[in-house]
Amino acid sequence: MKEQLIKVMQRQQVVNMMYVAKSGVITKRRVKIIKLVGDSFTAFCFTRQAKRTFIINNVLAILPVTHRKREVI
């Protein structure tokens, strides 16, 4: 998983991520990885609109976002 996260970070891709929180709840997040340090990484979470730190071992899956939401202004 760490290798996949490194590739995503280098490509500056936005990904959908399935993640297990400390409480055991599985959440789906849309994130852009900022940096990897040891067993964790920092990412901007579009769900929470804030920077968050995630544990690599708690990531279940990542999928690149292939399309973006369009809005009419």
For residue 34, what pLDDT is reported? 95
> What CATH code is assigned to 1-61?
2.30.30
17-68, pLDDT tens digit by residue?
Answer: 999 988 999 999 999 999 999 999 999 999 889 999 999 999 999 998 876 6
pLDDT higher at 8 or 69: 8
**Which residues does 34 contact at the CB level (< 8 Å), separation at least 6?**
9, 41, 42, 43, 44, 51
pTM tops 0.95, yes or no: no
Residue type, 54: F
Amino acid present at 13:
Q
Q: What pLDDT sits at residue 66?
A: 79
